[in-house]
């Protein structure tokens, strides 16, 4: 847990997506937003994971809680299993929506950040310094697709060689 907290705080300071938002924002709103975001970043996942994790442990042996194998735990299934045991199909649907929103938000931020770096810091600076706005927009779209394909391939490779959430954390 401590490694995760320290690592994720470092991510906030080193992640291009955060810097892009900070640079594009007004200073007065940026400071308030980052302070509130930093508090929410820690409090919301901590409260959610602690509650759901303890629920999964407390529900062990309950007929509504499915028995989890080590592979299930490594795949990150204790939270969905606990929520499904407590809230039924509605809870499972809510968990699915929650995961979808979290994943699409993080993916969108990373796609835009990497696209901007590759477009402005590589393409415009070294390949075509006189690029027009239309060319920059087209290259930016290509970079989003290229990075999405690269991450999809990396995800498949990790899946097939057995890299799981248990290995990452």
pLDDT in tens, 66-101: 999 988 887 788 999 999 999 999 999 999 999 999
> Which residues contact residue 76 at a Cβ distance below 8 angstroms, ignoring those fewer than 6 apart?
165
What gap in Å lies between CA 111 and CA 150, rounded to an integer?
Answer: 11
Q: Across all residues in the chain, what is the average pLDDT?
A: 85
Average pLDDT over residues 103-125: 90
Banded model confidence at residue 151, pLDDT cuts 50, 70, 90? very high
The reported pTM is 0.70
List own/partner pairs for 7-11 with CB under 8 A and 24 or more apart: 8/41
- Dig out the tokens for 66 from the structure: 């499915």
- Give the model's pLDDT for residue 133: 95
pLDDT in tens, 9-50: 666 666 666 777 777 777 777 778 777 777 777 778 888 888
- Give the Cα-Cα-Cα angle 135, 117, 104 (nearest 5 degrees): 100
């Amino acid at each position: 847990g401590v490694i995760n907290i320290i690592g994720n705080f470092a991510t906030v300071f080193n992640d291009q997506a955060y810097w892009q938002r900070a640079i594009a924002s007004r200073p007065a709103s940026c400071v308030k937003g980052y302070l509130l975001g930093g508090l929410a970043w820690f409090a919301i996942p901590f409260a959610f994971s602690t509650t759901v994790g303890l629920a999964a442990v407390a529900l062990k042996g309950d007929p509504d809680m499915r028995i989890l194998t080590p592979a299930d735990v490594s795949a990150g299934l204790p939270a969905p299993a606990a929520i499904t045991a407590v809230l039924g199909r509605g809870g499972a649907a809510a968990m699915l929506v929650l995961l979808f929103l979290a994943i699409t938000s993080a993916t969108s931020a990373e796609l835009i950040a990497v696209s901007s770096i590759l477009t402005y810091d590589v393409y415009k600076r070294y390949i075509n310094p006189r690029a027009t706005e239309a060319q920059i927009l087209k290259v930016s779209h290509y970079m989003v697709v290229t990075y999405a394909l690269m991450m999809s391939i990396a995800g498949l490779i990790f899946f097939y060689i057995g890299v799981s959430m248990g290995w990452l954390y």
